[in-house]
Amino acid sequence: MELLFNTQELIDSINIFLTNLCWNYNIPSWILTVVIMAVVAGIVAGFVAVNTMMLVLAERKIAAHMQDRLGPMRVGFHGILQTVADAIKLVLKENIMPKVADKTMFFLAPIIVFAPAMMAYVILPWSPGIIVSDLNLGVLYLLAVGSIGVIGIIMAGWSSGNKYSLLGGMRSAAQVVSYEVSMVLSILGVIMLTGSLKMGELVNAQKDIWYICYQPLGFLLYLMAATAECNRAPFDMPEAESELVAGFHTEYGGIKFAMFFLAEYANIFAVSAVCTTLFLGGWQGIPGLPITLPPIVWFLIKTYAIVFIFMWFRWTYPRVRVDQLMTFGWKLLVPLGFINILITGLVMVIK
């Protein structure tokens, strides 16, 4: 239990132990690096898979209760094992490839969507010292990685050889590219206050007061832009069921569909975790509140609260139209983002 609080020491002692091990048995250090990389990647992948199952179940349960239903109840106690059953079903399904599909692209698209979603986990600060790599350009890296996923979505839409898929892919591309602008603008305020792009420093800068107090507008803009970036309702134009069947993943089934699903929920969690880090003080407790919880627990509580807000959005707001979506992004969010930066800059200069 003590170790959960002092994660920095834990990581340091593990490092020292492994380095000594290498020295004692004459193992070259690059083998150690490779092994550590593989283990960390395995942990992240495992977390993403388990987390996705939990989030899918949570989403279905929350949706059900918001609509006065019960949701899945059959598999396990109150349907707890429902997503496990679904996952097994998806894995066992036959791989279907449409005849007109472009084979290579069709095969590659889910991987290209999934990989960037995983890459974002490199810079999530879970707890002091527990971060895969605290890059100098943390936030910029996140944005760069996030922009790769769009290509996968367009590839999926195009290679399916289905006009609804193509439309979904094109919509998604337009949407993600547009909302990336407002996302960058909403994050810039925080970066200006901290003067660093490092995730660790961003968390440490919020020791006394969370940035949501200085940047309430930035927080709201980020929430909206992130919803659109993840293609979540009310901005789920790429997969609008009532218009496009299922958008870019109409033709996908089995394990490939599962990869799109994993990527979607991995993205939601990553986006929420970044929101926690940027605006809600990361793994730090609420300032002034005399509750001591391990940092990682704080981090998870805040992140899941944001995830809950995303789910709440989905089951509350009706879907917007494509033109409304673009108008909202370019004519409302982007100017507001500029105003936010202007005010932040003015206040910083005056102080």
Q: Taking CA 44 as the corner, what is the angle to CA 39 and CA 48, rounded to the nearest 5 degrees?
A: 145
Tokens at 220, concatenated: 């709201």
Shortest reach from residue 332's CB to another protein, in Å: 19
Residue 154 found at the interface with another protein (CB under 8 A):
yes
- Binder among 106, 126, 141, 265 for another protein (CB under 8 A): 141
Tokens at 15, concatenated: 């490092």
Q: With CB under 8 A as the rule, give the number of residues binding another protein.
A: 28
Residue holding tokens 């969507």? 113
Residue 114 found at the interface with another protein (CB under 8 A):
no
**Stretches 44-52, 129-137, 279-287, 323-331: which one binds another protein (CB under 8 A)?**
129-137
Residue 105 found at the interface with another protein (CB under 8 A):
yes
Distance CA(248)–CA(49), nearest Å, equals 22
Residue 150 found at the interface with another protein (CB under 8 A):
yes
Q: Please state, as a whole number, how many other Cβ atoms lie within 10 Å of the Cβ of residue 33.
A: 10
Residue 115 found at the interface with another protein (CB under 8 A):
no
Distance CA(52)–CA(58), nearest Å, equals 10
Distance CA(243)–CA(274), nearest Å, equals 32
Residue 166 found at the interface with another protein (CB under 8 A):
yes
Shortest reach from residue 149's CB to another protein, in Å: 9
**Stretches 137-145, 205-213, 216-224, 286-294: which one binds another protein (CB under 8 A)?**
137-145
Distance CA(310)–CA(262), nearest Å, equals 16
Write b or e for each residue in 301-316: b if 16 or more Cβ atoms lie within 10 A of its Cβ, otherwise e.
Answer: ebbbebbeebbebbee
Residue 134 found at the interface with another protein (CB under 8 A):
no
- Binder among 2, 25, 30, 242 for another protein (CB under 8 A): 30
Q: Where along the sequence are the contacts to another protein (CB under 8 A)?
A: 30, 102, 104-105, 108, 135-137, 140-141, 143-145, 147-148, 150-151, 154-155, 158, 161, 166, 170, 173-174, 177, 180, 197
